[in-house]
Amino acid sequence: MKLYIPSDYRAQLAPETMEQAIKMLKSAFQDELSQALNLRRVTAPLFVLSGTGINDDLNGTERAVSFSIQDMGGAKAEVVHSLAKWKRMKLGAYKIAPGYGLYTDMNAIRADEELDNIHSLYVDQWDWERTVTAGDRTLDFLKGIVEKIYDVLRSMERKIYATYSHITPLLPEKITFIHSEDLQKQYPKLSPRERESEAAKKHGAIFVIGIGSRLADGEKHDGRAADYDDWSTPTTGGRKGLNGDIILWNDVLNSAFEVSSMGIRVDKETLERQMDIENCTERRELLFHRMLLQDRIPPSVGGGIGQSRLCMYFLRCAHIGEVQASIWSDEMVDACKENNIFLK
């Protein structure tokens, strides 16, 4: 069992007040995010048909929870991991112009998660996607989007402080951009997670650029599927990638704390290149991939922002089970209870 227990931990809010704060945070965040990025809300599926290439493969190894549909001749459906590809298809279906996009409440089940303070079988996030032009596929454009999202995060922290004045703001005024290649050079003896923690502790909030391609040491900072984020396009100084993660320093957990994975999505050229790199060219025949290769899906930028993760951070919780209902082992529930961490 992986579990971090902060010393002398006490929840900042009583259970009934915690529920009110969660509701306020979720409502306010989606409203401000939609205004900042020109997004409109859409309804999202909980599951999609297997074999279409629409479901997100995450790192490319996680199993999707699946079931057969009796009324469709036993066709197989699978619970979504995220909606990275589904959203792109909807941008095209709704003919959303560049500069505008959509967001949705995404709920997922990830059966292969290793459960700990921040990982649950149940995933809730705001999945968002925005149409761009071919000329927007640059690192500067991506940074501009990240800064808009970060401004919303800081606004949420101020709202919490205005209502619960004992929860004081911690986020720095600006987010720091760091490429994964530079992190590897700065901390060559540390693992990617350890590098993130060192940088997040130093800066308070970072955006790690270029996640998915191999670094100078031959390893990846982290895995990314070949067919949604662009992690292979050259940028500057021999670096690659038009994607990344927003990571905050978490004082309660004394560690780096990822709240969003996002990026400029693959175009035709990048999709072909990354499928070749990852030896998964057979995906060209799947529905999503055929549509993209046939120019039936617009270029876009998008990502996911963890709802429970944000609530954890802003309400200074030690475990994601304090802000969402899920399933935990008896061992974890008991260990948490002994240390004043009460899981839902």
Residue 132 near residue 72, CB atoms below 8 Å? no
Structural domain containing residue 101: 15-338
pLDDT of residue 344: 84
**3 located within any domain:** no
**344 located within any domain:** no
Q: Is the pLDDT of residue 57 over 80?
A: no
Number of domains in the chain: 1
3-class state of residue 186 by DSSP: helix
What tens digit of pLDDT does each residue of 218-276 get?
899 998 989 989 999 999 888 999 999 999 999 999 999 999 999 999 999 999 999 99
Active site residues: 56, 110, 125, 245, 258, 261
- Could you tell me the CATH number of the domain that includes residue 114? 3.30.930.10
> What is the DSSP track for 121-150?
SEEEEEEEEEE--GGG-SHHHHHHHHHHHH
**117 located within any domain:** yes
**96 located within any domain:** yes
Query: Can you give the pTM of this predicted structure?
Result: 0.94
**9 located within any domain:** no
What tens digit of pLDDT does each residue of 64-97 get?
888 999 999 899 999 888 788 899 999 999 999 9
**5 located within any domain:** no
Residue 301 near residue 136, CB atoms below 8 Å? yes
Residue 211 near residue 231, CB atoms below 8 Å? yes
Residue 149 near residue 36, CB atoms below 8 Å? yes
pLDDT of residue 64: 84
Report how far residue 154's alpha carbon sits from residue 314's, in angstroms, rounded to the nearest whole number: 10
Q: Could you give the strand order of the β-sheet that contains 255-264, starting from the edge strand earlier in sequence?
A: 39-41, 101-109, 122-131, 300-306, 255-264, 243-250, 205-209, 176-179
**251 located within any domain:** yes
**85 located within any domain:** yes
Q: Is the pLDDT of residue 299 over 60?
A: yes
Query: What radius of gyration, in Å, describes the C-alpha atoms of the chain?
Result: 20
